[in-house]
Structure formats: structure tokens, C-alpha cells
A and B are shown apart, each in its own frame.
Chain A
Amino acid sequence: MKAGMRTMLVLGLICVSAWQAGEAAYIYTKAWLAQRLIASAWDQARSTGTAVKPWPWADTYPVARIEAPRQGEALMVLSGASGRTLAFGPGHVAGTPLPGEHGNSVVSGHRDTHFSFLRELHKGDALLVQGANGSVARYVVSASEVVHRKDMRVLLDAGDDRLTLVTCFPFDSPVPGGALRYVVVATRDRIPLTRI
């Protein structure tokens, strides 16, 4: 092999490496940056009282804000749980009540970005949820389990007011698209709260 070709090969591999690193960086950056934009849209919406899109062509909008005080996480929940939405933030699963409302509200998020903190959520941990009308509800983690992706019981109304957080499982698998889901259930705590 000629020296020039070898040099080109080495350079090519470095570029491939950089491209892959870039893809990863893009995913993380998008996940991070979108949350910032959405948070500001949320604040704006709350002060003006009208729905504000986080960026002009966004096809989704924030429906709630979830905070995990012990883990130091605060996340904006978006409407809909399609792949495109989940890149920007956790998505509210259509057909279930909105976070903070009566019934079983289901939110799903990426296990390796927004919802990576789910593995650190333990029984008894608090979650604070701010709905679109500004009211804040407190939830306490009551259970977590691993289910099959077809187990739609997760979406069932259980007769109480709860927040169900869904993410993929196992957390550390490098390959996406597995059949298992990690589910955290937090039950509404009835102590009234006024603000986060």
C-alpha cells in the first residue's frame, strides 16, 4: 500500500470517527438546547397566557414541567410521544390525561438523555409537576418495574391520580430498539402546594 493511500485511510477513519462523535454530540446538544428553548417558551406562555411555540416551525408545544428535586432535574414535557418530539424532550402519550390532571398521565422520554435520571428515582422520591394552568402538583414515586413494550397495562387508568414515566430498558444498552421498558409510577400526593 502506498504511503499516500495509507495517510488518506487514516484521515478518512478520523473523519468517520469525528462524524460519529458529531452525530452523538448533535443528539445530546439538540436534547439540551431544545429544553432551554422550550423552557423559555413555557415561561413566556405562562406570563402572556397564550400557547407559544418554542421555535417558529415547531410541531409540538410544552404541556407540563416536571421537576425531580433530589436528582436536581427539571424537564419540559412536550405534547405527543413521537420520535421527532422525543428528541427535544419527554413526550406526553396522547390519549392519557395531561400531567397534573386526574387519572393516569403517561410521559415517555429517552433513556439516554432526558430520562436517564429515572434509574436514580427511588420509592419515596418526590416529583413536582406544573401544568399548563400554572398549578403545581406533588407526586411521590410508589413503584418501578420493567415491562414488555406491548404491555399496555401501563396506560390503563388505575383509578387513582398518577404520573407514569416510561423509558427504554436496559439503560446501558448501546443499541436502541429493545423490547423492554422501564416504568416509574408516582402517585399524587394530596398536600397542597402553591409554587415550585
Chain B
Amino acid sequence: MKMFWNRSLIVSEAQGYSIARDLVRFVVTAVLAGTGFAILLAVTILGLALVAPPAEASSGPAVRNEGAPSDRPGDQTSGSFLMRVRPGGEYVRSPVLSTDVKFKVSGTVARAVVSQQFRNDSQDWVEGIYVFPLPENAAVDRLQMHVGDRLIEGQIRERAQARAEYEAARERGSLASLIEQERPNIFTSSVANLGPGQTLTVEIEYQQTLHYLDGMVSLRFPTVVAPRYIPGTPQSEGKPSGHGWAPDTDKVKDASRITPPVLAENEPMRNPVTIHVELDAGFPVNEVKSRYHPVKVQKRDDNRYEVSLAVGPFPADRDFELVWNPLPGAQPRGAMFLESAAGESHLLLTLFPPFGVKADDKRLPREVIYVIDTSGSMEGTSITQERAALRLALGQLAPEDRFNVIQFNSATELLFPSSREASVKNVVTARRYVDKLRATGGTEMVPAMQAALESPAKEGYLRQVIFMTDGSVGNEDQLFKLIQRKLGRSRLFTVGIGSAPNGHFMTKAAQLGRGSFTYIGDVDEVGEKMAALFGKLEHPVLSDIVVDWPADLNAQSSPEKMPDLYLGEPIVLSALVQGPLKGKVVVQGQAGGESWTAEFDLSTAHDGKGMGVIWARRRVEALMDSIHEGADREEVRQKVVEIALKHHIVTRYTSLVAVDVTPVRPEAEGYDAEPVPTNLPDGGSHAGYFGSLPKTATPAELHLILAILAAALGFMVYLARRVS
């Protein structure tokens, strides 16, 4: 090549200068040299690509499940993102909302007052509709509507009746507000006839028991309903049941009620939240800390603290969590609270671990199925947390264990067709697979849950399913039913990932799966939280738990049958008791092959407010669960309504409604329903949640243009040589 080049130059010099000849010569040379090079390059790359598998494919053998999705019709589902688009900037007329929450904690019970302030900045009359989350075990039992200095107390009604009263007030122009439950952890707050420039506050109160886990009491307050994936086919007939971005589907009939509109990508965040906690731990506190928000902690005495946000309101885009633990040795054995009224008493008994000896050290081989949500809602910080957690989990496997990894988004993919032994080779394969997990697509959870629970369980192995997800789906009930039907010998441990996981799904799936739940809200927590989970994976530490009541006492306890307890979990028991409050409650169980007993004298119980509400809430939950087991829906509904009306609590079938009598809106002026838009959960992205159409352009043309530019530049340099 070089020889030819030099000779051609010499020839041109001998014959005198001509630009046309130069161009021809350059082009001939360039085309010859270039084509040769290009062909060589193309053939090499193509040859390499076709002869040797590309690196990505070679590293993980059997990356696809052998039974490819199309061979298994059960895996092909037709759900999609199903977004009813509302272009950005359309929420100018929706009321501006801010939330203030005041907690009073005593022991492991919290009472919260949630004030939602709706302000109408528009020139029109509006109906404000706000879909918001509460803890999954919150018993909402009070509603007050504040307008100016007036206060209207809410009444508990059956859902349809409450709605009718609210709508009647709305149509005649009166102020009204309504609290409805969509899921145990999703509620809708509606306010009617909010006038131009007017401000109205809806005050909701709820009671809950706090989670106690691994030596920590946790007060968790969700602030945003993350966009849920809605499987199924849209139902086109009839009006949608709500104002959300998703249409109702055959699988999620109320989808439009649980999918509040989301702010457009570049809009500033809305819905500020302030939080204040008055804490009476019931024991000397070692440390109080907030996991995700900076807080100011003021100590009143050993047991009592006051906590508020350190830097003003935060946007409603992630859960708030406050945790505290007792001073070493100061841990009480348990606590009993009693509320008596009208011949009946409600009791709440909490027993703290540890219980007896630690489970025996004989480690049974395990078959662990890791199920990982790689749908678009996990994109961003969530998938990073998942990968880190999975890497740790894979490192925990012993050589005699068996394992498999299942990832799911729109489709379900198994690393191995069935579980394999945890040999170094298999674990390395899995680790590579995990490193390459990417989050995209829908959240078709049913096929993944099926694959995890259905794959044949090896005899002689403890079978554990570790399910990592944010739970952002609308078809929870369908999944619960599946878990109940298919669980068999497996135990299901849920790991809630991200800044706004679906607490209802996490706790209920773990309860039905007879495992436990863990939350990871930040990548820094992965180590600590996963270590606690590994401790639980060994065995339940307390099983066959039985509660004996004094003979002359009629007790109706919830749960009716105590679940097995894992390391670090407490016994929490709520009961309705009738009869003389004397004698002892005896709790017995099996711990590591030995029997374990604890006794509580009923006369030592402390007075506690709101124990009845807690019992009612737990009773309603048990009744609602019985629907998955096949109980008659109408029968359950009647029982739930009866309890809910008596205890004044909001359920799927009962709502709180507050109505003002005097009309305020002139009849001539209409009103518009304006849903309050929500933020995206922290760390997530629009493209992740709502998807994006595939990228479909190659850089081929760009390459061609660059090729021509480089050639032209080459010719100019070649010419420059001439000129100089």
C-alpha cells in the first residue's frame, strides 16, 4: 500500500500539477485502501460475531429459561402500562395540598392525626380528590372537617350510603368530605365545593400497632402511592370508577381509584409533609433515629422523646421511618394493655423476644428460590439495592444447598430450569446474571410467584422463597389467593425494596407465606437488613404457640391461630374478653425442641386507649383474608360492616363522611372534579414507571457521514501538501 502511494506521488510530480488528477488519484488510493480495510474489518467482526458467541451470551449459560415464554401460554399475559395520558401542566386547577402528621406513641401502639390541607388557588369551584397511603394496619376511626373556625365531625356509614350522602351534599353545593378505603394501605380523601381561594382541612385519625423487629420498634409512615402496574384488559364499558391514570381492567376492577395522576417529569415536587412524634417508648430508650429524613430529637426523660423534622417539610415522595431500641438490659419481657367499656374489654398483649433457647444448631440444607422484580418501577436506586442484596444472599449459600434465581418483569425468566446445587460454578453463574439485571417493562407478578412456588420441592430441604419487589401492583388479592393455594412446604420471605414499597403486599404476602418481611429503603441498609433476614431463614424460633385464658373468661383473640415466629419477631395478640378480669393468660410454645411458657396476670394490665379499635381492625383483616380462602363475600361483608360501624372504623365496606348543611356554592356555578397529582417515589423515573417505546435507530447513517467527512478531510490534507 505504502509503495503504491509513494510511486503515485512521484509520478504526479513528474507530470505537473492538476487538481482533477489529484482528486482521481486520491479517490482511487482511498477507495482501494479504505475498501480493503473496511472489508477486512467487517469480515473480522462479522466472523468473530458469528463464529464466537458474544461475551454477554457466553458468560451465563442457559440464561433463558429452557421453556421459552412462547412455549408456555401461561406466561404470555396481555397486561401493559395502560396509561391514560394527562399531559403535564394540566394540574393548575387542582387543589394545593399539604399534610401534617402528629403521632402519639405509647409502647408499641401509635395514635396519629393526619391533617390534609386543601387550598384552591383557582378561580373556580372544585372537588378535590386525593389518593394517599397510610400504614397497612392503620385503623382510621375519626374524621373532622375544619373550615375557618367551624368543625364538622365525620360519621361512619356503609360505603354506598356514605358516598350517597357526600354526593347529595356536593350537588346541592354544600361543603363535604369523604374518606374511603381502596386497599388496607390506600385511601381516598374527597372534598366537595371548595370555593375559589378557599382553604379546608380534613383531619383523619388512626390507631395502629407498630412493628417490632430485631430489637427495634419502627414507626413507618408512607407518603405516596407509587404508580402501580395494572395487569389485565381494560374494561371499556361504563364510566371509570375513579380519576386515576389507569383504566379499570378485568384483573383490577378499581384500577382508576388506586392510580392517582403523577406530576409530569419536570414539574416541581408537590405535597409537602411535616411530621411530629411524641414518643413514650415504655422502656428506657437507647437510641431514636430517623432512617431517611433528618430529624431533631429532644429527650424528655429516659422513656420519653419528642421528634420533629430538622429542616422543614419534605416532599411526599418516600416513606418516613422512625426507629428506636431499648437500652441494653432494659428490654421488658412484654406489655399488656386493656380497655374496658360496657361489659367488654379489649386487650393487647405484646411479648418481646428472645424466647427460651436459640433454635438448635443443626443446619438443614436449604432450597432457596430468589425471585427478583426487574420491572420498570425498580429502575434507578431500587435495582441497585436489589443487586446488592442478592449478591449478599448468594454468598450465604452453603455447598449442600440448592438454589435458583427467577427474575420477572413483563415476562418471567428462570436462571436454571430447576434449582441447582450451590456449587462454586453455579453461584458464579448466578452472580454474573445478577450483575446484569436491568429494570424495564411491566410487573407481571403472577407467573413469577407461580414459578417460585410450583417448581418441585426437593425432599429433605427447607424450601424458602425470597421475594424482592416494591410490590407496585394493583392485583394484590389475586397474588394472595395464589400464595394460599400454592404455598405447600415453601416459606415466603418478602423483601420490600425502594422508597415507597407497598406495605400491604409485603406484610400480607409474608404472613400468608408463613415467612417474614424486611424493608430495604436505602442501599446503605442492605447489609444490616439482609443479615437480619439470614438469621430468620434458619428456622422459626418459636412454633406451636397456644394461648390459654382463665376458664371463666370468654376470649375471642386475633389472630385466632398464632403463626410461627422467626428470630427477632414478637408475639402480638389482641383479644375481646368478656368476664371477670382475674387470673392468668398463659402463652406456650416450642423453642428448639423444648417447651416455653410465659404467664401474664390480667390484673397487672395497664389502661390503654384504643385497644378496641385495634382489635376491630385485626378482626376485619382476618375476615377479609377469609375471602381468599373461599368464604362467602356477602357474609364477610355483613360481619365487617357490623364490627366497623360499632368501632367507627373505615374499611373496604365502610367510609367516614362529614357534611355541612348550608349550601355555599351558588347553583349557577358548576364545579370540576380535580384529582391532586402525586410525586414519583424518590429514586424512580418516569420512563421506568410508565415505560418508553423502544429505541429504533441505528448509528449506521452517522457512521457513513463520519466516513465521508474523514475522507474529505484526508483529501484536503493531501491537497495542502500540494499547495505548500
Q: Which residues of A contact B (CB under 8 A)?
A: 3, 6-7, 9-11, 13-31, 33, 51, 55-57, 59, 61, 63, 79, 81-84, 86-87, 91, 93-98, 103, 108-113, 115, 132, 147, 149-157, 159, 166-168, 173-178, 181
Task: Contacts A9-B717, A95-B444, A167-B696 known; list 19 others, CB within 8 Å.
Answer: A7-B721, A10-B721, A13-B717, A17-B706, A17-B707, A17-B709, A18-B37, A19-B707, A27-B703, A33-B46, A61-B68, A91-B694, A94-B411, A150-B687, A150-B690, A150-B691, A150-B692, A157-B80, A168-B695
Which single member of A14, A31, A79 contacts B68 (CB below 8 Å)? A79
B1 to chain A, nearest CB (A): 8
Is A23's CB under 8 angstroms from B703's CB?
yes
Q: In the assembled complex, which residues on chain B have CB atoms less than 8 Å from the CB atom of A155?
A: 80-82, 691, 693
Measured between alpha carbons, how far is A22 from B53 in the docked complex, in Å? 20
Is B410's CB under 8 angstroms from A94's CB?
yes
Mask for B23-57, Cβ within 8 A of A = 1, else 0? 00000011001111111011001100110011011
Within B657-695, which residues are at the interface with A (CB < 8 Å)? Answer: 686-687, 690-695
Q: Which residues of B contact A (CB under 8 A)?
A: 5, 29-30, 33-39, 41-42, 45-46, 49-50, 53-54, 56-58, 63-64, 68-71, 76-83, 85, 233-234, 236, 409-411, 441-442, 444, 686-687, 690-711, 713-714, 717-718, 720-721
- Sample of 27 A–B contacts (CB below 8 Å): A6-B721, A13-B713, A17-B30, A22-B45, A24-B700, A24-B707, A29-B42, A55-B50, A83-B695, A84-B56, A87-B698, A91-B694, A94-B409, A95-B441, A95-B444, A98-B76, A110-B696, A112-B701, A147-B693, A150-B691, A152-B692, A153-B85, A157-B234, A166-B694, A167-B696, A178-B697, A181-B696
Known: A108-B696, A155-B81. A14 touches B70 (CB 8 A): no
Measured between alpha carbons, how far is A18 from B703 in the docked complex, in Å? 10
Is A14's CB under 8 angstroms from B686's CB?
no
* In the complex, residue of chain B having the shortest beta-carbon distance to the beta carbon of A60: B64
Measured between alpha carbons, how far is A175 from B706 in the docked complex, in Å? 11
Interface of B is mostly: helix
Measured between alpha carbons, how far is A121 from B714 in the docked complex, in Å? 40
Is A14's CB under 8 angstroms from B710's CB?
yes
B76 to chain A, nearest CB (A): 7
Is A19's CB under 8 angstroms from B37's CB?
yes
Measured between alpha carbons, how far is A113 from B696 in the docked complex, in Å? 9
Q: In the assembled complex, which residues on chain A have CB atoms less than 8 Å from the CB atom of B714?
A: 9-10, 13-14, 17
A157 to chain B, nearest CB (A): 6
Measured between alpha carbons, how far is A11 from B233 in the docked complex, in Å? 61
Which single member of B42, B83, B444, B718 contacts A26 (CB below 8 Å)? B42
Is B45's CB under 8 angstroms from A26's CB?
yes
Measured between alpha carbons, how far is A17 from B710 in the docked complex, in Å? 5
* In the complex, residue of chain B having the shortest beta-carbon distance to the beta carbon of A170: B697
Measured between alpha carbons, how far is A147 from B691 in the docked complex, in Å? 14
B386 to chain A, nearest CB (A): 19
A99 to chain B, nearest CB (A): 11
Which single member of B30, B70, B444 contacts A79 (CB below 8 Å)? B70
Q: In the assembled complex, which residues on chain A have CB atoms less than 8 Å from the CB atom of B717?
A: 6, 9-10, 13
Is B700's CB under 8 angstroms from A113's CB?
yes
Measured between alpha carbons, how far is A17 from B71 in the docked complex, in Å? 46
Most A C-beta atoms less than 10 A away, residue of B35, B68, B686: B68
Q: 6 nearest interchain CB pairs?
A: A13-B714, A57-B53, A95-B410, A176-B697, A18-B34, A17-B710
Is A132's CB under 8 angstroms from B70's CB?
yes
Measured between alpha carbons, how far is A10 from B26 in the docked complex, in Å? 10
Q: In the assembled complex, which residues on chain A have CB atoms less than 8 Å from the CB atom of B53?
A: 56-57
Which single member of B29, B33, B83, B703 contacts A20 (CB below 8 Å)? B703
Which single member of B36, B78, B693 contacts A108 (CB below 8 Å)? B693
